[in-house]
Structure 1
Amino acid sequence: MSPRRSNAERTETTRAQLIDTARQLFGDRGYSATTIAEIARSAGLTTGALYHHWPGKEALLVDVVHDIHRELAVRIRSGGSVGAVEDGEAERAAEGSGAGRVAEGRRADRATEGGGAERAVEGSGKGRVTEGAPVPLLLRSGLEFLGFCADPAVARVLLLDAPAVLGYERWRRIDEQWWLSPTVRLVERARLARGCPGAADAGADGSRRLALALLGALTSLGHEVAMQGASAVAGAGRTYEVLLKSLFC
């Protein structure tokens, strides 16, 4: 007989169930068209159970956004569908990414929190990306994100509803919580490895600005993919590849 679950385990299970349900409904119907009562009912729980964890729907949306970032981090860490990235590989890597694959890792490794994103990003590829290959890792991570944006449900929640409901600054802070620090470190390694002029003495500010520029470019490309669908992933990936090469090659 299995041991009885603790209250903490039951609480976490309920919380995860509500996040999963809210994420599905927000993705299918949109944030504004989904009510607290519908989320609770679809999860087989009471509205009181939901309010035990969140004061309202907006706070729940914040955790749904974190859940999407968490899934992306897990997929990058595990290598996703993208293998070794060589010249011109962005188009081939983009094939097969997106809608059909997003659900696969949805519940995986919820223990990866914001600070864990650094380990998730830098540990991706399971050995296919070495410590001395930051540019392929930046490309691979970007391609995973663009593939993610091809899923209409992810795009609706992450790129459309979240910034509209939470406000741009708050939405951006969540994104940076997950991705800014690991991207800065990869940029620093790439600049030094490629012998970029002034790389050694540009300091953290220079690398941080470059990292913000890369993340901003990915967000813009992600919006393009979200609007045009999976057929735009390859072109967006090539554009990001060209940007990385112009900076580091």
Structure 2
Amino acid sequence: MTESRARNGTQWARADATRRALLDAAREVFSDRGYEAAGIAEIVERSGVSVGSLYHHYGGKSGLFLALWEEHTAEQERMATRAVKAARAGGEKDSITLFITGTAAFLEFCWDHRRTSRLFVSGEGPTGFGLMRRSRMRQWLAQNTRLLSDHNQMLPLILTTAIGEAGREVSIADSPEDAHSLITQTTEILRRLAR
């Protein structure tokens, strides 16, 4: 490996560490204070990174919030997708069972990452956040429509909407028992609606 290549690798690793520190600090501050009350100074202080680096990597508070949201929703989708793939690998073919398996994984993620989930279901965020959420909802609906293609065309819309609301309730549950009870109730209701 050339010296130049090694230097570039080190710079990329440092940039990744800087972005990670900023996202982790932003998650804490936004979760503690909400988007509007969160301050750049506190995010920078908690991250140990310079203000200039925050603006370089994210362009400001709104860019940081949106990057955090993108990371959170991408991980939710990965968890649901992994659960569905594992069920398929285990021989499951029923689309409703696969859909409910993905739903349970999604809702578990909402509980496991409840502080961040609560932040995003509060509706607070930068200008344009509502539009981004609606766009993501349409993408999620399209995925669910493909999975449930052998059912009534309104079923994916109804189920996807119900899951979104269930995610909100799970993320604000008072205890693990309450959260898991809500997840179980949701999957049972979805199964009845889908049959």
**TM-score (ref. length: structure 1):** 0.63
Relative to structure 1, is the Cα distance of residues 29 and 182 closer, same or farther in structure 2, using a 3 angstrom cutoff?
same
- 1:135 matched to 2:96? The reply is yes
The unaligned stretches of length 5 or more in structure 2 are none
In the TM superposition, residue 48 of structure 1 has moved relative to its aligned partner by 0.5
Q: How does 1:229-248 map to 2 (within 5 A)?
A: 229=174, 230-248=176-194
Partner of 2:41: 37
Equivalent position of 1:70 in the other structure: 74
1:186-219 per-position Cα deviation (integer Å, ceiling 9, x unaligned): 1115x2xxxxxxx5xxxxxx2xx43232221012
Alignment map for 1:74-113 (pairs within 5 Å): 74-79=78-83
Structure 1: give runs of 5+ residues left out of the alignment: 80-121, 192-198, 200-205
Name the CA shift for 1:47/1:8 in 2 (closer, same or farther; >3 Å): same
The 1:63/1:127 distance shift into structure 2, 3 A limit, reads: same
Aligned position for 1:156: 118
Give the conservation status (yes or no) of the 8 Å contact 1:36–1:57. yes
- 1:156-175 equivalences in 2 (<5 Å): 156-160=118-122, 163-166=123-126, 167-175=129-137
- How many residues are matched? 187
Q: Do 2:22 and 2:54's aligned partners in 1 also have CA atoms closer than 8 Å? A: yes
* Gap change, CA 1:244 and 1:152, over 3 Å in 2: closer
- CA contact 1:146–1:236 (8 Å) conserved in 2: no
What residue is the counterpart of 1:113 in the other structure?
none
Deviation at residue 129 of structure 1 after TM alignment: 5.7
Length-normalised TM-score, structure 2: 0.77
**What's the counterpart of residue 182 of structure 1?**
143
Identity of aligned residues (%): 27
CA RMSD of aligned residues (A): 2.8
Query: Greater RCO between the two (CA within 8 Å, min separation 6)?
Result: 1
Residue-by-residue CA offset, 1:18-76 (whole Å, 9 max, x unaligned): 22221233223433332112212222210100001222212211111111112223333
